[in-house]
Amino acid sequence: MAMRGHLRIPYAGLGILILAIGASLVLVYMAVRFRMTWPRFFAFLLLQLYILGLYGLLYAKAGLSDAGGRVLRDLPSGIYFSLVTWTTVGYGDLSPLPHARLLAASEAVLGYLFMGLLVALLLQWFRGGD
């Protein structure tokens, strides 16, 4: 019965993943169709920061385990872990609790997608939209 609340955490991550992929596809379409501009690039970066913050909040709610086995449920740790997971650095100093592993995996996949999109958009922008 106690696990019932924890089951929502990974599904929230999947929901964020689906919404973020949709939003990024719209931004990429706009960038390709209408050329990349500073406001569109800034919107793309803001979307990334927003998603990092959402994942950080979810990690703070779900809890993280440090190297000593303590459970951390604070926002700074959640945002730090979100950034480390997003960039797939994975220092190993914090890890998700078992019920939040799918959440972390969804963020790593999203980080790969967004970093690839960022590189593609920057190349398209610097090449003049060819």
Domain assignment of residue 113, given as a range: 3-126
User: What is the pTM assigned to this prediction?
Assistant: 0.78
How far is it, in rounded angstroms, from Cα 104 to Cα 63? 12
State which amino acid sits at residue 40: R
For residue 91, give the CATH number of its domain.
1.10.287.70
Give me the pLDDT at residue 2, please: 46
Q: Among residues of the chain, what percentage have pLDDT more than 70?
A: 82
Q: Which residue has the higher pLDDT, 67 or 122?
A: 67
Quick one: pLDDT at residue 3?
A: 47
23 token code pair: 């939003």
Residue pair 54/106 in contact by the 8 Å Cβ criterion: no
Strand order in the sheet with 64-66: 71-72, 64-66, 94-96
**How do beta strands 94-96 and 64-66 pair?**
antiparallel
Give the DSSP H or E segment for 10: helix 8-34
Task: Note the pLDDT tens digit of each residue in 110-122.
Answer: 888 888 878 877 8
Q: Which residues contact 94 (CB under 8 A, 6 or more apart)?
A: 64, 65, 66, 72, 77, 80, 81, 84
Q: Considering its fold, how many domains does the chain have in total?
A: 1
Instruction: Look at residue 6 and tell me whether its pLDDT is greater than 50.
Output: yes
**What does the DSSP assignment read for 57-107?**
HHHHHH-EEETTS-EE--HHHHHHHHHHHHTT---SSEEE-GGGHHHHHHH
